[in-house]
Structure 1
Amino acid sequence: MPLESNARIVKELARRGYNAEREAITLLASAPDSAAAVESVVDRAPDDALRITTDHVRAVTNDQSVSGGDSAVSPPDSAASGPGSAASGPGSAASGPGSTASVADPTTESPPTRNSDQPPSTTSTEGSPVEMEGSSLDHVPGSDRDAENPETDIDTEIDRDSDSNADSSVDRSPDRSPDSTSHHDPDIRELEVGNDMTGQSTGTGEYSDFVRTFRDRYERLSKVLRGRVNHRPAEAIAEMPGGSDAAMIGLVNDVRSTKSGHWLVELEDTTGTFPALIMKDKGLADLVDEIMMDECLAIEGTLADDSGILFADSLHFPDVPRTHRTGAADRHVQAALISDIHVGSDEFMVDAWSSFTDWLHTPEAEPVEYLLLAGDMVEGVGVYPDQDEELEIVDIYDQYEAFAEYLKEVPADTEIVMIPGNHDAVRLAEPQPGFNDEIRSIMDVHDAQIVSNPATVTVEGVDVLMYHGVSLDEVIAELPEEKASYDEPHKAMYQLLKKRHVAPQFGGHTRVAPEERDYLVIEDVPDVFHTGHVHKLGWGKYHNVLAVNSGCWQAQTDFQKSVNINPDSGYAPILDLDTLDMTVRKFA
């Protein structure tokens, strides 16, 4: 059988029960007879090997060269060197399931040595991580914000409901042999990326660019609201007679309280501005607490006698429909949702990461065919005060080299999608493009797709909105604690879904770049909303949309201690794409 592509080589090795290093696959693909090369390498692989390494491939090459036969594998000139070499780093055969990865000094182009005072990873007695499933996922379709309070004791194991069949098709046999058949088939996978603005940036920072961005925001979000209210432009409302019923859709230009305890909200559309007074006895105070500057709202009410102000009777956010119908895969397949790896920090949890990637090689993890990484692959440089004192790797490019080595621990046939975060080497203003060519080439592992922040990834019929989450800081700071807090980050995510925008407020903590199109608008309702950034684990459903903040892989830093952040580290939410049930696994 000809093996004319890397994907087919991966598929053939997976069929025989093997994973492979990317460089090993490249060597096999460059062979004159790829099929014969695969046969030779598999025949010569050690009995206990689950991963084909470049050493395995070169051993076959060297033996055939010594015997004078035609080599089945012709290694490229560069195969013997570089950070992907099988001789070092976590990509070597020594880092397979059940073994302890040896991590070398970063100057040898391998990942950094783990900080000695970081606690070791913990797993169950059978070698599987602790499983958790929040009670917030016991969802009744059509209910209003059902299950907004997921289980917060994340250190407690929570058993899956007895009637759940999410794991019924998973082979739990602990003694899978290398010759057993894997059901990973790249040909039946479906993955599409939308809203990726990488390479599409047009903004120059001119005033007109910002006007264009906010006009686009207004036009797209007002379309959502037009079906709910019979609105008029600001200039038309100003000409209406006093006492008339009126409704306006606009961006929040100002919001302030009066001496009497009422609220004055000024909306702006493309024709002008108009004020609305929300009386404290109207029962709208709960909604007023959620208003943020620059978001799009609709207000209905009655004009004053002089037509100078609108007395509000109701207030509408664009919001996600309560009847949103989610997509689903037509087979049992899973995606791991993770974020905030922070390679380069001296608090990067290498043991937890290795436990996670070792687990991905087990029969229990065979359904996990996708890895969605929501930003902050590395710790970065100069992100916060005195960060250099907490760095294990001080060069940003070396950090990405190390991250690429750790990513090689993930099974080679895993589909990987990554977006940047505020610690990554991209512009801070959102939307963030998906890295420059130099860093992309460093992270070119397992053919990973690197896209912008935010982006929508459709995985086997399930729409996943990936956003790193910097604006969550602003939502948590602006809204009452019961509606948004670091302890329950998914509730802040509910607010972004309600506003249909991932970063509604301009000019605050979240930097926004002007573009012809506002890429931060949530125009199409996702099935899953995945964020990171705040280093806290939280999940729940809002109007049928699963909101997940996936925690981090970095222990508490001195800076986090100074701002009272206690991170949830070493967790991997595993999402069933056929049912949208989720299990959170603990690896630290």
Structure 2
Amino acid sequence: MPLEASARIVSELTSRGYNAEREAVTKLASAENPQAALERVVEDLPEDALVVRTDHVDSTLLRGNSTGPNADAASDSPADPAVSTGDATTDPPATGGDVPVETKGGGGADRSVDPALRSLEIAGDMTGQSTGTGEYEDFVAVFRDRLERLGSKLRGRVNHRPASAIQNMPGGSDVAMVGLVNDIRSTASGHWLIELEDATGTFPWLVMKDREYVDLVDELLCDEVLAMEGTLADDSGIAFVDSMYFPDIPRTHEPSTADRHVQAALISDVHVGSDEFMAEAWNRFADWLHTEQAQHVEYLLLAGDMVEGVGVYPDQDEELEIVDIYEQYEAFSEHLKKIPGDIEIVMIPGNHDAVRLAEPQPGFDEELREIMSAHDPQIVSNPSTVTLEGVSVLMYHGVSLDEVIAELPEEKASYDDPHKAMYQLLKKRHVAPQFGGHTRLAPEERDYLVMEEVPDIFHTGHVHKLGFGKYHNVLAINSGCWQAQTDFQKSVNIDPDAGYAPIVDLDTLDVTVQKFS
């Protein structure tokens, strides 16, 4: 039967506050008079029911309350795509009054999956854990935490000495230091001077222009953690660099995979509320999730910017279809309801969302969570790590990618290949290493932006460009957007990749990209 028939039934049920199992919708759509069958089923539902289940439909049809086929005939009909909570082809219907929030729908039954097979765990969610007050001590604490945690990954590779000890060593000594990059500058002779800082002080390191690793200097950002080895000058005032090390992802890293064939859709930057939000592409995406082709998509990870926001960039109000931020989230929630009800959803905020701009960004407040309660999504901080059936996914919205792309040579980081900029963050084991630049960072007692554990997948958005690849066996994906080019984007030469959904096989970490624009 046509997808539209099932979608209309689901839309009608949603407008009355109900979700439904897929088989129940299939049987209703198979009736000779689906609308009459639906009315009788709703009339027969228990008062406390939130989900229209197959047994509800069976009992009504078997009692002759419908003119459609009997239960056995309905069960022989072809299986329809998984049920959604909204009309897959048109704008969602307006709902009146207070209706029950959406539940998980048919759960695993919608996709013939035992719910016990699913596993979703969250780590690194700092929502409700913010301790920063902006005092000097907070900044000291966060950088000390960064140095300690990332430095521990480097001290086993070099014979580390603190800056204060190196200053007292005799000239010609072999030395090594782990520290934060405090300054990077070139000398009159074309060499590079790198100043490292630790808890005891700073010490200068000279990278000679004729050394093969001088190209690594192009990759450095201030405030990242680095290890250097070399030889002290005769006067012990500077060290000549022989080698440098990043915290990096071990080349021997072996990613985890799921024990069964299951998929996750990775998307970001929906931007509901913008004049350029691509509603038709989103509806096609939601339609596709109902099809047999998408039957293994059981998780949806959304990496920020659910809405367009207000006052994010100059003259943004001229490009808004919805000017009230809460109405933007209400509209987003209606679009979210079109996603099949049995898909597990995880969302983090982005820089357009109604949370603080400084990273890490806590998850949304209770009022916004209530607005976005469709599917009961997991709403966590930016960044957070989500583990899906053993596969760890580091979700980060990606504001720092602008800074990486601006600071590094084009061949190492560009908007055309956003995953290469992500490689740099993996190499530095930090999602936003540089303080005081474009990316706003909040001082906390703990640096929540450190990649302490190696993720299996690194998922970002923000730059509105699609790109993916593997770095030391870590799958890096920037998932594009759902917003066509705005006038502001034209002014800054951003040509977005819009209407794409990367789909990851969690059992193999293979990626396919579905296009809906």
The aligned residue for residue 444 of structure 1 is: 373
- Mapped pair 1:47 → 2:39: no
Q: 1:351 to 1:307 in 2, by over 3 A?
A: same
Instruction: Select 1:430's aligned residue among 352, 359, 366.
Output: 359
Q: 1:39 to 1:486 in 2, by over 3 A?
A: closer
- Mapped pair 1:273 → 2:247: no
CA offset at residue 188 of structure 1? 1.3
- C-alpha separation between the residues in 1 aligned to 2:9 and 2:213? 57
Instruction: Select 1:316's aligned residue among 240, 245, 252.
Output: 245
- C-alpha separation between the residues in 1 aligned to 2:234 and 2:307? 60
- Mapped pair 1:347 → 2:276: yes
Given that 2:461 and 2:479 are in contact with CA atoms closer than 8 Å, whether structure 1 keeps it comes out as yes
- Mapped pair 1:293 → 2:222: yes
CA offset at residue 105 of structure 1? 9.0
- Mapped pair 1:95 → 2:84: no
- C-alpha separation between the residues in 1 aligned to 2:302 and 2:399? 15
- Mapped pair 1:500 → 2:429: yes
- C-alpha separation between the residues in 1 aligned to 2:262 and 2:12? 23
The aligned residue for residue 208 of structure 1 is: 137
- C-alpha separation between the residues in 2 aligned to 1:40 and 1:292? 55
- C-alpha separation between the residues in 2 aligned to 1:441 and 1:303? 61
Q: 1:331 to 1:25 in 2, by over 3 A?
A: farther
- C-alpha separation between the residues in 2 aligned to 1:576 and 1:375? 22
**Could you say what secondary structure the match of 1:209 adopts?**
helix
1:354-384, CA deviations, whole angstroms, 9 ceiling, x for partnerless residues? 0001000001100000000000000000000
For structure 2, the 5+ residue unaligned runs are 1-5, 51-82, 99-108
CA offset at residue 72 of structure 1? 2.3
Q: 1:586 to 1:310 in 2, by over 3 A?
A: same
1:466-511, CA deviations, whole angstroms, 9 ceiling, x for partnerless residues? 0000000000000000000000000000000000000000000000
CA offset at residue 262 of structure 1? 0.4
Give the residue type in structure 2 aligned to 1:369: E
- C-alpha separation between the residues in 2 aligned to 1:505 and 1:290? 12
Given that 2:85 and 2:339 are in contact with CA atoms closer than 8 Å, whether structure 1 keeps it comes out as no
CA offset at residue 565 of structure 1? 0.4
Given that 1:233 and 1:269 are in contact with CA atoms closer than 8 Å, whether structure 2 keeps it comes out as yes
Given that 2:15 and 2:94 are in contact with CA atoms closer than 8 Å, whether structure 1 keeps it comes out as no
Identity of aligned residues (%): 70
Give the residue type in structure 1 aligned to 2:308: E
Give the residue type in structure 1 aligned to 2:90: A
CA offset at residue 47 of structure 1? 1.7
CA offset at residue 59 of structure 1? 5.0
CA offset at residue 58 of structure 1? 6.5
Given that 1:381 and 1:387 are in contact with CA atoms closer than 8 Å, whether structure 2 keeps it comes out as yes
The aligned residue for residue 287 of structure 2 is: 358
The aligned residue for residue 264 of structure 2 is: 335
The aligned residue for residue 127 of structure 1 is: none
**Could you say what secondary structure the match of 1:434 adopts?**
coil
Q: 1:439 to 1:23 in 2, by over 3 A?
A: farther
Instruction: Select 2:461's aligned residue among 532, 552, 559.
Output: 532
Q: 1:437 to 1:56 in 2, by over 3 A?
A: farther
Instruction: Select 2:46's aligned residue among 72, 86, 96.
Output: 72
Given that 1:106 and 1:393 are in contact with CA atoms closer than 8 Å, whether structure 2 keeps it comes out as no
Given that 2:86 and 2:338 are in contact with CA atoms closer than 8 Å, whether structure 1 keeps it comes out as no
Given that 1:186 and 1:413 are in contact with CA atoms closer than 8 Å, whether structure 2 keeps it comes out as no
- C-alpha separation between the residues in 1 aligned to 2:405 and 2:161? 33
Give the residue type in structure 2 aligned to 1:72: P
- C-alpha separation between the residues in 2 aligned to 1:107 and 1:392? 22
Given that 2:271 and 2:307 are in contact with CA atoms closer than 8 Å, whether structure 1 keeps it comes out as yes
The aligned residue for residue 419 of structure 2 is: 490
**Could you say what secondary structure the match of 2:152 adopts?**
helix
Give the residue type in structure 2 aligned to 1:324: H
CA offset at residue 182 of structure 1? 3.3
Given that 1:41 and 1:56 are in contact with CA atoms closer than 8 Å, whether structure 2 keeps it comes out as no
For normalisation by structure 1, the TM-score amounts to 0.75
- C-alpha separation between the residues in 1 aligned to 2:12 and 2:186? 60
Given that 1:24 and 1:57 are in contact with CA atoms closer than 8 Å, whether structure 2 keeps it comes out as no
Given that 2:178 and 2:226 are in contact with CA atoms closer than 8 Å, whether structure 1 keeps it comes out as yes
The aligned residue for residue 371 of structure 1 is: 300
Q: 1:331 to 1:26 in 2, by over 3 A?
A: farther
Instruction: Select 2:128's aligned residue among 199, 202, 218.
Output: 199
**Could you say what secondary structure the match of 2:427 adopts?**
helix
- C-alpha separation between the residues in 1 aligned to 2:318 and 2:7? 44
**Could you say what secondary structure the match of 1:514 adopts?**
coil
- C-alpha separation between the residues in 2 aligned to 1:405 and 1:205? 38
- C-alpha separation between the residues in 2 aligned to 1:212 and 1:368? 42
CA offset at residue 228 of structure 1? 1.0
Q: 1:325 to 1:209 in 2, by over 3 A?
A: same
CA offset at residue 183 of structure 1? 2.2
- C-alpha separation between the residues in 2 aligned to 1:38 and 1:313? 65
What is the aligned-residue RMSD (CA, Å)?
3.1
Q: 1:181 to 1:475 in 2, by over 3 A?
A: closer
Given that 1:95 and 1:102 are in contact with CA atoms closer than 8 Å, whether structure 2 keeps it comes out as yes
For normalisation by structure 2, the TM-score amounts to 0.85
Q: 1:105 to 1:74 in 2, by over 3 A?
A: closer
Give the residue type in structure 1 aligned to 2:114: D
CA offset at residue 27 of structure 1? 6.2
Given that 2:303 and 2:347 are in contact with CA atoms closer than 8 Å, whether structure 1 keeps it comes out as yes
- C-alpha separation between the residues in 1 aligned to 2:500 and 2:269? 11
Q: 1:108 to 1:507 in 2, by over 3 A?
A: farther
1:525-565, CA deviations, whole angstroms, 9 ceiling, x for partnerless residues? 00100000000000111000010000000000000001010
Give the residue type in structure 1 aligned to 2:431: V
More moved, 185-194 vs 318-327: 185-194
Q: 1:27 to 1:561 in 2, by over 3 A?
A: closer
Q: 1:48 to 1:234 in 2, by over 3 A?
A: farther
Q: 1:23 to 1:192 in 2, by over 3 A?
A: farther
- C-alpha separation between the residues in 2 aligned to 1:188 and 1:411? 18
**Could you say what secondary structure the match of 2:175 adopts?**
strand
- C-alpha separation between the residues in 1 aligned to 2:17 and 2:416? 48
CA offset at residue 239 of structure 1? 1.1
1:397-435, CA deviations, whole angstroms, 9 ceiling, x for partnerless residues? 000000000001100000000000000000000000001
The aligned residue for residue 188 of structure 2 is: 259
Given that 2:181 and 2:226 are in contact with CA atoms closer than 8 Å, whether structure 1 keeps it comes out as yes
For structure 1, the 5+ residue unaligned runs are 1-15, 30-36, 65-70, 77-90, 110-179
Instruction: Select 1:60's aligned residue among 34, 38, 41.
Output: 41
- C-alpha separation between the residues in 2 aligned to 1:394 and 1:561? 21
Give the residue type in structure 2 aligned to 1:437: E
Given that 1:21 and 1:408 are in contact with CA atoms closer than 8 Å, whether structure 2 keeps it comes out as no
Q: 1:278 to 1:39 in 2, by over 3 A?
A: closer
Give the residue type in structure 2 aligned to 1:95: D
- C-alpha separation between the residues in 1 aligned to 2:41 and 2:228? 73
Instruction: Select 2:320's aligned residue among 353, 376, 391.
Output: 391
**Could you say what secondary structure the match of 1:225 adopts?**
coil
Q: 1:475 to 1:93 in 2, by over 3 A?
A: closer
Q: What is the aligned residue count?
A: 469
Q: 1:361 to 1:394 in 2, by over 3 A?
A: same
Given that 2:85 and 2:337 are in contact with CA atoms closer than 8 Å, whether structure 1 keeps it comes out as no
Given that 2:266 and 2:301 are in contact with CA atoms closer than 8 Å, whether structure 1 keeps it comes out as yes
Q: 1:251 to 1:496 in 2, by over 3 A?
A: same
